[in-house]
Amino acid sequence: MEYFVPDIYQKSIYTIDYKKLKKDGIKCLLIDLDNTLVPVEVRKPTLKNKRLINQLKEMGFKVILFSNSNRKRLIPFKEELEVDCSYFSCKPLRFKYVKIIKSLNFDESEIACIGDQFITDILGGNRIGIKTILVNPISRRGKANMFSLWLNGIIQKRLVKKRLFTVGKYYD
Ligand SMILES: [Mg+2]
């Protein structure tokens, strides 16, 4: 179960201490899209999204949208936020992480992933050895990931039972 425990847990992408990440040597951020950046039904980035991503870029982070969703879903975000994206990432499988690490020449210790799901974002990141940051899902709605949300709920319950995680008890 330890593989499901995030290194950092924050309320949302807006409460993460990016300055601290920078100080800790993080250079690249893999950010999940659905329910991390926007709810599933939102097709374009919000103004708040744009402000944050611009701020992160100004701080010198390489920002990559790292999603299991398809290309069509990612394109408007890639274009409007002017960031790279990885679609069909098949989290928690390793190969897309490995591809990014190799192509950008980053060390695992220089990459952090941010996402709302234990089963994909946190498990995937922990398996590959990068820093994992869990945020609360923006919305619990969305047909597309009902199964994933259900599975995520089961894992969360187990983590709580084993005292490895407490909902709302944020740390970094
Ligand atoms: Mg998500």
Question: With contact defined as beta carbons under 8 Å apart, do 10 and 112 qualify?
Answer: no
Task: Look up the pTM and report it.
Answer: 0.95
pLDDT of residue 84: 96
- Could you give the number of structural domains in the chain? 1
Q: Span 57-86, mean pLDDT?
A: 96
In a domain, 20, yes or no: yes
Q: What is the mean pLDDT of residues 140-160?
A: 82
Rounded distance from Cα 7 to ligand 1 centre (Å): 17
pLDDT at position 114 is 98
Question: Mean pLDDT of all residues in the chain?
Answer: 94
* 171 occurs within a structural domain: no
Surrounding residues of ion ligand 1, Cβ less than 5 A: 32, 34-36, 116
The token duo for 117 is 């799901």
For residue 49, the CA-to-ligand 1 centroid distance in Å is 15
Inside any domain, residue 120: yes
What is the mean predicted confidence (pLDDT) over 30-40?
A: 95
> Who's near 47: CB < 8 A, 6+ residues apart?
none
Q: How far is the CA of 34 from the centre of ligand 1 (A)?
A: 4
Residue 143 has pLDDT above 60, yes or no: no
Confirm whether 79 is domain-assigned.
yes
For residue 86 the two structure tokens come to: 């990885």
In a domain, 167, yes or no: no
Is position 172 within any domain? no
55 pLDDT band, cuts 50/70/90, is: very high
As a whole-number percent, the residues of the chain with pLDDT over 70 amount to: 97
> Which pLDDT belongs to residue 145?
66
CA of 38 to the centre of ligand 1 (A): 9
Under 8 Å between Cβ of 50 and 38: no
- How far is 25 from 3, CA to CA, in rounded Å? 22
The arrangement of strands across the sheet holding 8-10 comes to: 8-10, 131-135, 111-115, 28-31, 62-66, 84-86
Residue 166 is assigned to a structural domain of this protein:
no
> What distance in angstroms lies between residue 32's CA and the mean position of ligand 1's atoms?
6
Q: What is the CATH number of the domain that holds 110?
A: 3.40.50.1000
Q: Which domain holds residue 150?
A: 2-161
Residue 17 CB neighbour total at 10 angstroms: 12
Assigned domain for 168 exists: no
